[in-house]
Amino acid sequence: MVGIVIVSHSKQLALGVRELAKQMVQGDFPIAVAAGIEDSDNPLGTDPIQVYEAIASVFSDDGVLVLMDLGSALMSAEMALEFLPEAQREHVYLCEAPLVEGAIAAVVAAAAGRNIQQVIAEARGALTVKATQLGVDSPHLSVVSSDRPNNTEYPTQELRLTVSNRLGLHARPAALFVATAARFQSQIKVRNLTKNTAVVGGDSINQVAILGVRQGHELEITATGDDADQALAALQALFATNFGEDDSTFEPAQTVNHEVISATPGELLGIAASPGVAIAPVVHYQPSAITITEYHVDDPEAEWQRLQAAIHTACQEIQAVFSQASIQIGDAEAAIFDAHLLVLKDPVLLEAAYQRILEHHLNAEAAWQAVVDEVATSYRTLEDSYLQERVDDVVDVGQRVLRLLVGNAPASLHLLEPAILVATDLAPSDAIGLDPTMVLGICTTVGSATSHSAIIARTLGIPAVLGVGGEVLHLEDGTLMALDGETGKAWVEPEPDILDVLAAKREAWQTAQREAKAKAHQPAVTRDGQQINVFANVGSINDVQVAIASGAEGVGLLRTEFLYLGRTIAPTEDEQFAVYQAIAQVLNHRPLIIRTLDVGGDKPLPYLNIGFTEANPFLGWRGIRFCLDHPEFFKTQLRAILRASAEHNLKIMLPMIATVMEVRAAKIILGEVQDELRQAEIIFDENLQVGIMVEVPSAVAIADQLAAEVDFFSIGTNDLTQYVMAGDRTNLRVATLVDALHPAVLRMIRQTVQAAHTAGIWVGLCGELAAHPLAAPILLGLGLDELSVNPQSIPILKQAIARLSVTEAEAIATLALQQDSANHVRALLQQSTVP
């Protein structure tokens, strides 16, 4: 494997770069640091001997890449080469790539097994003065084609489907369509029969989106290849489930009648995009323009690699944004950035850029800008106004890549005091980075209530009025503005009477918000004094921090899959231990329930060659079944959990349990790991609790037997509902059956709770049902001891519990169990009144 050396004047900087780079591959990697000098009064500097030793420590015949900052770091690196034997010197390369970005790109490429020249190409972003000083020529690399194989030997399968989504295939469902199509080897084609469009590739998000698919349009989808049937079935499932969208919550875009004259001086009319009142001075926001120059390149292959490196880094940035967005605004709205990722992976867009670079010898910046402009123009020419707005996403992604190519710093907004942001428009990437404590309101001259930026603003709780007159762009920073995101009005230097009304409205809104947040940190106690533990479902250390801030009393479900997915090798024991320990430290002795790995079947690991495709992965080789078939894999995770349990309040939870024998087999493996740790004199919690997920009907039927084997139950209503009702959520004809409020599911919950309490163990619930305040009376009445929900739902769930008494809840639950349908249960809950 290629080794990496970081040479810097600052040891602290170099260590930080190394840590950041290693986190990108989440594993051990040959990367060494040569930084600083042994002088306590002046520790900044570089030492050729240190560089030589660092190179020697990571040397292999695969090569060593040395990244440096400027000045003496270059000279020290060049001098260090003189100490090396000539045979080794030929394998060491000094690279002019920027230190931080170059290290990250190089480590990712090297960890993927690329050769030294490919690693160098990945490390190079925008060339800097270092290229001239070192005299390094750009490497020549071959492009690895991502085209799918020609499947002409297979017959083409065809499917015709009608779109039921109210907004059609807008960005998120289009992204889901493309992501699903990309999972299969078959060539997927699609056309809009209603509009008689041309046939386009199903793996291109832009081509799918610009088909202009609206509600009621009929699509023709074809697949050619050996997995064509599975591909079409998976795509059909998306349509059957409405692409996971709930049209009942859709609010149509508001329009503005620009002929209306303002009723008062300084009043501006716009679009009510996000409710709430803001009164604050104005601050203008204008992202720095990116200026590019078109020029001829002599080595188009290397230029293509430079573009690929920028796209790769952009993907990493968007993935980080997606993670942040999932925490801030939830997974559903964060899917906006899934669409951004698919734009970067769009084969049509990439092929167009490649052709411009290869055939016309254009530089990467000019080629990329040209193809992005073409796609944006395609969106703008659509008749559908909603799809026209998706051009913002394409431009947003395009600008991100251009910024990386030219070496510009990311756009940032630094406010010294709370303000109302005034801008022409906000890209989704701009909006998700806003701090609601500093950005009190948003006022733009373009945009709509259905734009992705408006969606983000609403979810962040930032009042916004969009589409006002351009005169706001000429206001001086510091000018007092007020806006009402509920009415779509804004006022520049408002009159005292208007200011008083708005201030009162704002105060009432802020008071309600403060009370909700304050109560979120109080225990969830019913009116008659019974406390219910409210935990959080999380999937990262960042999620845990948000959960604690939201009032979580612990973690009821840590999804460990995030450690395994999206990488080329399995995480090591030490990697897992570090993460579990870090999360436990954030919780500060609050309970942490770690669900063991729940992959396989519906969530395959790319680095495990399963060798077959399952027709129904939800009924297949997943969860505990997978882990028991990979005992060494399972043991690695158990060792990490046990080691982290030494000083923390950890519990283990086994997923997809269907039989008593599965629990016993898992406990045997756990016992073997415990014996190994004892022999190695490694401390762990000898009284560590072990529980199971109850999500399979057989587990409910034998809950009394399972309760004798474990310390707790946690009911996963998402899967349990599907299995109880024998209703595939991907089948439109039966999807309505999959309702967790159906009496059959509620009776399963009651049976599980009764078996647990009879055995003297506690029982929780970690499915989505717990996140709905409407269901709180039933869950409380059924006797659940703990509820675990996404962090954002914690405050409202605690408030719902505080309004109830156990007696009332039990009465409601009893009536619910007697109903004959989920609709009747829901009607009962809506009619029930509690103080």
CATH number, residue 231: 3.30.1340.10
Dihedral (CA of 241, 243, 246, 252) sign: negative
Whether residues 554 and 661 fall in one domain: yes
Q: Distance between CA atoms of 681 and 683, rounded to whole angstroms?
A: 6
Whether residue 706 is predicted with pLDDT greater than 60 in this model: the reply is yes
Q: What is the pLDDT of residue 258?
A: 34
Residue 443 belongs to a domain: yes
Q: Does 35 share its domain with 52?
A: yes
Q: For residue 360, indicate whether it is catalytic.
A: no
Please tell me which residue, 304 or 246, carries the higher pLDDT value: 304
Query: How far apart are alpha carbons 161 and 218 in whole angstroms?
Result: 6
| Catalytic status, residue 766 | yes
Q: Within this chain, do residues 207 and 235 fall inside the same structural domain, yes or no? A: yes
Q: What is the CATH number of the domain that holds 641?
A: 3.20.20.60
Residue 256 lies in a domain: no
Reduced 3-state DSSP string for 127-189 = CCHHHHHHCCCCCCCCCCCCCCCCCCCCCEEEEEEECCCCCCCCHHHHHHHHHHHCCCCCEEE
Instruction: Please report whether residue 808 resides in a domain.
Output: no
User: Which positions ≥6 away from 363 have C-beta within 8 Å?
Assistant: 293, 294, 295, 296, 297, 303, 357
Q: Is the pTM higher than 0.75?
A: no
Q: Which of 482, 448, 480, 442 is CA-nearest to residue 462?
A: 442
Tens-place pLDDT, residues 111-162: 767 789 877 877 875 343 334 334 444 433 333 333 455 555 778 889 999 9
Q: Give the integer Cα–Cα distance in Å for 378 and 403.
A: 23
pLDDT value of position 139: 38
Q: What is the band of 248 on the pLDDT scale with cuts at 50, 70, 90?
A: very low
Task: Tell me the CA distances in angstroms from 717 to 360, 557, 559, 694, 738, one per residue in order.
Answer: 57, 13, 16, 8, 10
- Tell whether 123 and 188 lie within a shared domain: no
Domain count, the chain: 5
Among 220, 249, 278, which residue terminates a domain?
249
> Where does the pLDDT of residue 446 fall: very low under 50, low under 70, confident under 90, or very high at 90 and above?
confident
Q: Domain for residue 312, yes or no?
A: yes
666 and 539 in a common domain = yes
* The pLDDT of residue 736: 63
Domain of 15, CATH number, reads 3.40.50.510
Are residues 538 and 630 both part of a single domain? yes
CB burial readout 740-769, b (16+ within 10 A) else e:
bbbbebbebbbbbbebbeebebbbbbbbbb
Query: Are the beta carbons of 694 and 714 closer than 8 angstroms?
Result: yes
pLDDT band at 184 (very low <50, low <70, confident <90, very high): confident
Do 278 and 239 belong to one domain? no
Helix %, strand %, coil % for the chain, to 5?
Answer: 50, 15, 35
User: Quick one: 617 and 764 in the same domain?
Assistant: yes
Of the listed 340, 452, 648, 772, which one is catalytic? 452
Domain's final residue, options 372, 406, 440 = 406
Lowest mean pLDDT among 399-408, 547-556, 674-683: 399-408
Per residue in 326-374, pLDDT (tens digit) is 655 655 556 667 678 778 878 878 888 999 999 999 999 999 999 998 8
Same domain, yes or no: 630 and 768: yes
398 lies in some domain:
yes
Residue 461 lies in a domain: yes
Task: Give yes or no for residue 566 having a pLDDT over 70.
Answer: no
Residue that terminates a domain, selected from 103, 134, 165: 134
Above 90 in pLDDT, residue 551? yes
Are 127 and 181 found together in one domain? no
Are residues 598 and 704 both part of a single domain?
Answer: yes
In a domain, 820, yes or no: no
- The DSSP code sequence of 772-805 is -GGGHHHHHHTT-SEEEE-GGGHHHHHHHHHT--
Are 224 and 187 contacting, i.e. CB atoms less than 8 angstroms apart?
yes
Task: Report the relative pairing of strands 480-484 and 277-284 from DSSP bridges.
Answer: antiparallel
Asked if residue 558 lies in contact with residue 592, where contact means CB atoms within 8 angstroms, the answer is yes
* Residues 274, 279, 280: CA angle, nearest 5 degrees: 115
What's the pLDDT tens digit per position in 640-681? Answer: 999 999 999 999 999 999 999 999 999 999 999 999 999 999
Comparing 567 with 66, the larger pLDDT belongs to: 66
305/322: higher pLDDT: 305
> Average pLDDT for residues 806-835, to the nearest whole number?
86
pLDDT band at residue 737 using 50, 70 and 90 as cut-offs:
confident
| Structural domain boundaries, residue 369 | 300-406
Q: Is 780 exposed, middle or buried (0-12, 13-18, 19+ CB in 10 A)?
A: buried
CATH of the domain at 331: 1.10.274.10
Both 275 and 363 in one domain: the answer is no
Let me know if residue 552 belongs to a domain.
Answer: yes
More confident residue, 27 or 424: 424
Neighbour tally for 582: CB within 10 Å: 13
What's the CATH number where 279 sits? 3.50.30.10
Which pLDDT value is given to residue 27?
Answer: 57
